[in-house]
């Protein structure tokens, strides 16, 4: 595939808002996880909650979209000069020629949960509840397009944890078809009751900060985040490039990955082939690394199947941000860009004791080194898999 030029990117997670806050936290190996405090829920787990989301006020023209998910989206859009970069792209290409393709898993589901908690005596939902602009999955794309004054194609991908990695493939196909010249991609997901209680029912929540690749790992820590990238056919000041996108669906199980990582293997190989690279060209892998026993063992096998017994240095950053679900692919693509731009391979957090059955070259401490190409993995429920190859080297 032709490289996608990245002209701007930003991310907001429990580590902070914007690139600088994220980079500072990664360099300090500081985690954003903390014991659950969201809405006083009686669950024993840790989460990556973004500070101040409930205090965000949307502009009056966007008030119909008001929900926690879109508030976090608005907060994220204000960072790193992202809206200014989109303004320049809109002037260059025209508003109808810029697409908006974003990932989320639950959209504004919290808004519906709150509406049901506040039903009228006759059972009717509150008069001010607006499903179309909040919980409806397209809400995120509609909100972002309106906020950025873009009128090109827009849609939301909701394939669980691979959602905001797969949108890069959607943008690629739209560009190849000639329907657009640029796209805003990424994802937003926020904490809600269904997500927390649902993962708890699946016995996938860790009662402590998650421990990717650790011998004592016992589940994941849910996070929330917003991440956006502007990609264009070309740009004068590229922040990096997307060289390859690999997408598969092995359909193994609704909530358990294939034990041998069959779909993950195929996604990584497809991404490398699309990038025109060999396994040995990858300098660092940002793992999906959720810290559940089955995910990490499956991904470890998959990585070794693609890269051999001597894998590139790799780590999961979910010990820092939590698992941000539908936003994870976009967040970790942005972290991969930070790694490329600053020569930083971030060490994973909280592992303590390595799992002797996992053999990938996992980093517990940061490593500084020039990087050319990074692979970022995002694997979701239902066997949906996506891998991205990002580069800091001019193609």
In whole angstroms, give the CA distance from residue 126 to residue 289: 40
Q: Is 252 a catalytic residue?
A: no
Q: Which of 67, 258, 323, 373 is catalytic?
A: 323
Q: Is 67 a catalytic residue?
A: no
| Residue pair 389/274 in contact by the 8 Å Cβ criterion | yes
Q: Which of 161, 192, 210, 314 is catalytic?
A: 161
Tokens of 254: 């609704």
Q: Which of 258, 288, 350, 373 is catalytic?
A: 288
Q: Is 352 a catalytic residue?
A: no
* Separation of CA 89 from chain center: 23
In whole angstroms, give the CA distance from residue 72 to residue 86: 18
Residue 215: CB atoms within 10 Å: 13
Which positions are annotated as active-site residues?
161, 288, 323
């Amino acid at each position: 595939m032709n490289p996608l030029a990245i002209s701007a990117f930003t991310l907001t997670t429990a580590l902070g808002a914007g690139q600088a806050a994220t980079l500072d936290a990664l360099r300090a190996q500081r985690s954003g996880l903390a014991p659950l405090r969201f809405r006083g829920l009686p669950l024993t787990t840790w989460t990556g909650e973004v500070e101040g989301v409930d205090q965000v006020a949307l502009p009056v023209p966007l008030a119909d979209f008001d929900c926690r998910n879109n508030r976090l989206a608005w907060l994220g859009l204000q960072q790193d000069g992202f809206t200014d970069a989109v303004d320049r792209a809109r002037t260059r290409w025209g508003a109808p020629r810029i697409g908006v393709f974003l990932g989320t898993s639950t959209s504004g589901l919290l808004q519906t949960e709150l509406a049901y908690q506040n039903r009228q005596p006759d059972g009717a939902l509150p008069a001010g509840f607006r499903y179309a602009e909040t919980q409806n999955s397209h809400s995120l794309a509609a909100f972002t397009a309106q906020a950025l004054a873009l009128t090109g194609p827009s849609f939301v991908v909701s394939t669980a944890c691979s959602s905001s990695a797969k949108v890069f493939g959607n943008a690629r196909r739209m560009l190849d078809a000639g329907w657009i010249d640029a796209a805003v991609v990424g994802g937003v997901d926020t904490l809600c009751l269904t997500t927390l209680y649902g993962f708890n029912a699946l016995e996938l929540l860790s009662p402590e900060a998650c421990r990717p690749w650790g011998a004592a790992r016992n589940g994941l820590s849910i996070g929330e985040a917003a991440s956006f990238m502007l990609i264009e056919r070309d740009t004068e000041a590229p922040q990096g490039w997307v060289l390859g996108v690999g997408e598969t669906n092995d359909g193994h199980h609704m909530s358990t990955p294939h034990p041998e990582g069959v779909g993950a293997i195929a996604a990584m190989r497809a991404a490398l082939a699309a990038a025109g690279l060999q396994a040995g060209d990858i300098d660092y892998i940002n793992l999906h690394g959720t810290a559940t026993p089955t995910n990490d063992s499956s991904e470890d096998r998959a990585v070794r199947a693609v890269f051999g017994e001597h894998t590139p240095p790799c780590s999961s950053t979910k010990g820092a941000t939590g698992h941000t679900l539908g936003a994870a692919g976009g967040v970790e693509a942005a972290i991969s860009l930070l790694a490329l731009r600053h020569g930083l391979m971030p060490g994973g957090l909280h592992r303590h004791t390595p799992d002797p059955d996992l053999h990938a070259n996992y980093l517990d401490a940061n490593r500084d080194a020039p990087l050319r190409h990074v692979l970022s993995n995002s694997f979701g429920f239902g066997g949906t898999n996506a891998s991205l190859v990002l580069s800091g080297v001019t193609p």
